[in-house]
Amino acid sequence: MTTRRELANAVRALAMDAVEAAKSGHPGMPMGMADIAEVLWNDFLKFNPANPKWCDRDRFVLSNGHGSMLQYALLHLTGYDLPMSELKRFRQLHSKTAGHPEANETPGVETTTGPLGQGLANAVGFALAEKVLAAHFNRPGHVIVDHRTWVFLGDGCLMEGISHEVASLAGTWGLNKLVAIYDDNGISIDGEVHGWFTDDTPGRFEAYGWHVIRGVDGHDAAAVKRAIEAALAQDGKPTLICCKTIIGFGAPHKQGKEESHGAPLGKDEVAAARERLGWPYPPFEIPAEIYAGWDHRARGAAAEQAWRDAFAAYAKAYPELAAEFERRQRGELPADWAASSQAYVEKLQAEGPEVASRKASQMTLDAFGPLLPELIGGSADLAGSNLTKWKGSLDAGNGDSAGGKGNYVYYGVREFGMSAITNGLALHGGFIPYDATFLVFSDYARNAVRMSALIPAHAIHVYTHDSIGLGEDGPTHQPVEHLGSLRLIPDNQVWRPCDAVESAVAWKAAIERKGRPACLVFSRQNLRHQHRTAAQLAAIARGAYVLSDPAGAKFKAILIATGSEVELAMEAARTLAQQDVPVRVVSMPCTEAFDAQPLEYREGVLPSWCRARVAVEAASTDYWRKYVGLDGEVVGMTGFGASAPAAQLFEHFGFTVAHVVDAVKRVVG
């Protein structure tokens, strides 16, 4: 009969062989955690290899993603569509076995991990999604949402500051279906971690409100199984299982050392490890009896069928809820969404409110929130400033106000953790999540925003106080380079609307951008309403459009502006018209959306024959060179802001009609 150790050794062998074939990788962690993974995947994890997206599957997250061969070996052995040929192509171009696990590239990988600690944060998002979704849909005698989130993590994940942020929230929220298994091997790239990592990790997590199981021998399958059973037996808290392991377990000369962490073991050491482990098979060869011991296809199919039977009974008892659940799992917007959201945009255009775009954002949430039960979001302790709470907001984390059926998350001052949790909520399915902070603090969150685009995840990141216009708080709070930084993230749409109408269109576009992220950037100060024709209104969603053309004359220059600077551009255009310098004004709320338009449309807005162009934005100037060219000018920021009332700051830094007029005259010549 095949033993647990033999099953685990298959993982070790595949990890050694794949890293050796690639001549790069991290064999140590997979070899050290193989025994733990064998117990979890064979005895506890609920999944169906034939349907990696089954909605009530357990979520498994490899936060220490450098050990990716552990996950690839597990996926292959248990029956996912990840053939041995892909393991042999580990870390090669266009393979399904990238250096770090990538969602949407490899079946069974729930999220893209690599930046340490973010996998744990995503897992907290998965667990929060399960809790809230269960509260929304489960009914007495009919439980259709009932799964767990499991996360492997290492010393590096726990050293990263994001782990503190999200572990604190998980304990506060009582995410009892979250189980983290800590690979305590004492080794990182630089060697033994006791020189730079002496935290009392179990005590730290107990202080967060976690259930902690200490001192588990990670190479004793029976001990690991008892620990997991203890985690499942408790209620009301997330669990951290602390497993002591030997990195590179089985490699006689390199186990327990940093040499096994991030480099191939070498031909001789691999051979020695095979002998030590009693694994006589050639590279990438797995005996039939080992495959049989790992094969999860029949068990997985049975588990999913049992759920489908339960869901059929649920649908019979609660047909409307069942239909709503299925719609949200498909990621489809409600049937009345398109007409209702467009009607709201048209209503705003007719009414013309002159409010700060952050207020327009809240007004839009009040209008869109009742249409979208899947909308869930929150703010990093700035709800009163970001204006992200809407009339139907109820606490989702603790659920005290709605019996667990909330839709608003209080994140506290945790921008990075918040944004990575948002990615987890998006990836789980059934939700459209948003988060919020001041634009300047997107610096804290940026790597998670980058991951939103890289994964990709349908995450909406809301940023307010978008320029020096926030005023007296001064340069520490005044974003300058942040818009350009966010725009540089591939496939990340950044919207900076000029009035309430563009704000609503920005929200609409972000909600409809299925599977991909957006950043919505709003002002503190009131913005003037802009008059538009029906054609102009329809063109907002294209990212840029002609807001104003001179009457009866061909324009000599183009003014391009975003956000609060659009009204400045319009005033400058009126002044220039009086001086016989006709100009076109282009509002460009989203450069990425505009760049994706057909050439014909882009040429119609920014014709190539007109090289006299001026861009106006209260942010760093360099980004706009792509639109104005060498012959154009940018009215923007070339340094940091200052502490003063907004009106004084705009005048001091040159955001005046006179300054813009002079810039246009210079480019016209």
Annotated binding residue 499: no
Annotated binding residue 264: no
Annotated binding residue 261: yes
Residue 504 makes CB contacts below 8 A (sequence gap 6+) with: 341, 344, 345, 348, 360, 363, 364, 367
Annotated binding residue 156: yes
Annotated binding residue 215: no
Annotated binding residue 467: no
Annotated binding residue 328: no
Can you tell me the distance from the alpha carbon of 354 to that of 529, in angstroms, rounded to the nearest whole number?
5
Annotated binding residue 76: no
Annotated binding residue 477: yes
Annotated binding residue 441: yes
Annotated binding residue 482: no
Annotated binding residue 465: yes
Can you tell me the distance from the alpha carbon of 244 to that of 184, in angstroms, rounded to the nearest whole number?
5
Give the tokens for residue 536: 């102009």
Can you tell me the distance from the alpha carbon of 76 to that of 160, in angstroms, rounded to the nearest whole number?
30
Annotated binding residue 116: yes
* Given 415, 502, 592, 633, the catalytic residue: 415
Can you tell me the distance from the alpha carbon of 74 to that of 644, in angstroms, rounded to the nearest whole number?
59
Q: What share of the chain is helix, strand, coil (3-state, %, to 5)?
A: 50, 15, 40
Annotated binding residue 94: no
Annotated binding residue 90: no
Residue 390 makes CB contacts below 8 A (sequence gap 6+) with: 362, 365, 366, 369
DSSP structure string for 479-528? -SSHHHHHHTSTT-EEE--SSHHHHHHHHHHHHHSTTS-EEEE--SSB--
DSSP structure string for 228-245? HHHHHH--SS-EEEEEE-
Helix 68-78 to helix 28-43 angle (10° resolution) is 40
Annotated binding residue 114: yes
Annotated binding residue 496: no
Helix 337-351 to helix 357-368 angle (10° resolution) is 140
Question: Pairing mode, if any, of strands 545-548 and 583-587?
Answer: antiparallel
Chain center to CA of 206? 27
For residue 287, is the peptide bond before it cis, meaning its omega torsion is within 30 degrees of 0?
no
Measured from the Cβ of residue 333, the count of other Cβ atoms closer than 10 Å reads 18
415 is known as an active-site residue: yes
Residues annotated within the binding site for Mg(2+) are: 155, 185, 187
Q: Give the residue ranges of the annotated binding site for substrate.
A: 26, 261, 358, 385, 465, 473, 477, 524
- Binding positions for thiamine diphosphate: 66, 114-116, 156, 185, 261, 441
Binding-site residues, please? 26, 66, 114-116, 155-156, 185, 187, 261, 358, 385, 441, 465, 473, 477, 524
Catalytic residues: 415
